[in-house]
Amino acid sequence: MMKWLFGICSIVVLSILQPASADETGWALFNKAQQSVRQHNFDVSFVVLKGGQAETYRWLHGRDDAAEIEHLIPMFADGVDIVRRDQQIYYLISERPSLVTHGDSIKELPALLFEEPALIRTLYNAVAGSSSVIHGRSAQLLRLSAITDERYHYWLWIDVETGFPLRIDTLAEQHLRSENKALEIWQITHLRITPEMPDNLAQLMKVTLPLALPVEVKVQQPQQHQLGWLPSGFQIVPEPLQVPQLEPEVLSYWLLSDGLHQVSVFVQRSHRLPTQAYRDGAVTIYVQSDPQLDVTVIGPISVDTAQRLAASVR
């Protein structure tokens, strides 16, 4: 009898410990990917596939004892060159004044690679998967499964040798596997890691770039409406960046964030259009219309979540 009870207890303990151990293995793999994009000197090309369209980029990163620099170069006509030198980010637009912001990462790159792991752990479970080959490199799969239904899941393939992320799939359902079911695919097409900073970055480090212009602080007008519901883990950003082009028409505006994703909610006078939903890769655009108001929700959430947000406006 005692042997039987001991056996049962052992099975229970193992069933508790194994998922925890698997989870920590996954998080160790995730940490390795984040460190790789921060610490290595590299020159890579990648493609973003979404909505049947492809956008290609070149991404260079370098660091030395004194400074860090990276350059994101779009390989299509209407793209904008972006340079980050430490905490200064420069949007270099031809024949127009450059925009200068502050931050420790370029927001046009996958946010998943740069946010604090402690925050990601509050939103996802991490499970290491099987190995495969991507563009001739051995890669290990890492599944980040959303803890709640309000956000998407991520599958990452991480280079075994360097820890560099080779591919990231954004999935509405964690069990979906085929490429045509992914909402968005971010994939490396060329990877070159070097011991020294790439030469063109070393030169860019010395170039004089525009100074940051003083930002005019606008007093936010009181909201004319209330937002009655928030998705799990999301909070309202207290002082969101104002959008001058929309200010004349916007009656109320909220920016929501869970630290990793951002969702915008706009309220305008009705244009008397039908209620409609679109999806651009992982980004949902949902417009709820009635005779008085239009409520627009934009962000990387499901249509159901966007619909519930719009319906909560009072």
Q: Label residue 250 by pLDDT band (50, 70, 90).
A: confident
Name every residue whose Cβ is closer than 8 Å to that of residue 161 and which is 6 or more positions away in sequence: 137, 138
- Specify the 3-state DSSP secondary structure of 74: strand
Greatest mean pLDDT among 129-143, 166-180, 207-221:
129-143
Residue 214 resides in a domain: no
* Comparison of pLDDT for 79 and 245, the residue scoring more: 79
Residue ending a domain, choose from 189, 206, 223:
206
The pLDDT value recorded for residue 7 is 45
Edge-to-edge order in the sheet of strand 283-289? 235-236, 250-257, 262-269, 293-299, 283-289, 276-280
Written as six digits, the tokens of 251 are 């009656």
Q: Which helix (H) or strand (E) holds 31?
A: helix 2-39
Structural domain including 307 reads 235-311
**What would the pLDDT profile of 93-151 be if each residue is shown by its tens digit?**
877 778 888 899 999 999 999 999 999 999 999 999 999 999 899 999 999 999 998 89
Written as six digits, the tokens of 192 are 């070159």
Cβ pair 50, 184 in contact under 8 A: yes
The pLDDT value recorded for residue 95 is 72
Q: What is the mean pLDDT of residues 147-173?
A: 94
Cα–Cα distance measured from residue 36 to residue 73, given in angstroms and rounded to the nearest whole number:
20
The pLDDT value recorded for residue 10 is 42
> How many domains does the chain contain in total?
2
Closest CA to 262 of 111, 99, 89, 103: 111
CATH number reported for the structural domain that contains residue 92 in this entry: 2.50.20.10
Q: Is the pLDDT of residue 155 over 90?
A: yes
Residue 200 and residue 255 in one domain: no
Instruction: Return the CA Rg of the chain.
Output: 22
Candidate from 2-11, 67-76, 135-144, 218-227 with smallest mean pLDDT: 2-11
The pLDDT value recorded for residue 99 is 86
Strand partners, 239: none
The pLDDT value recorded for residue 238 is 86
* Comparison of pLDDT for 220 and 122, the residue scoring more: 122
**What would the pLDDT profile of 251-299 be if each residue is shown by its tens digit?**
999 999 999 999 999 999 998 889 999 999 999 999 999 989 999 999 9
**What would the pLDDT profile of 200-213 be if each residue is shown by its tens digit?**
999 999 898 877 65
Cα–Cα distance measured from residue 178 to residue 123, given in angstroms and rounded to the nearest whole number:
24
Candidate from 25-34, 150-159, 222-231 with smallest mean pLDDT: 222-231
Residue 286 resides in a domain: yes
Q: Is the pLDDT of residue 38 over 60?
A: yes
CATH number reported for the structural domain that contains residue 306 in this entry: 3.30.200.100
Residue 194 and residue 242 in one domain: no
Residue 82 and residue 142 in one domain: yes
Closest CA to 173 of 304, 309, 19: 304
Residue 175 and residue 129 in one domain: yes
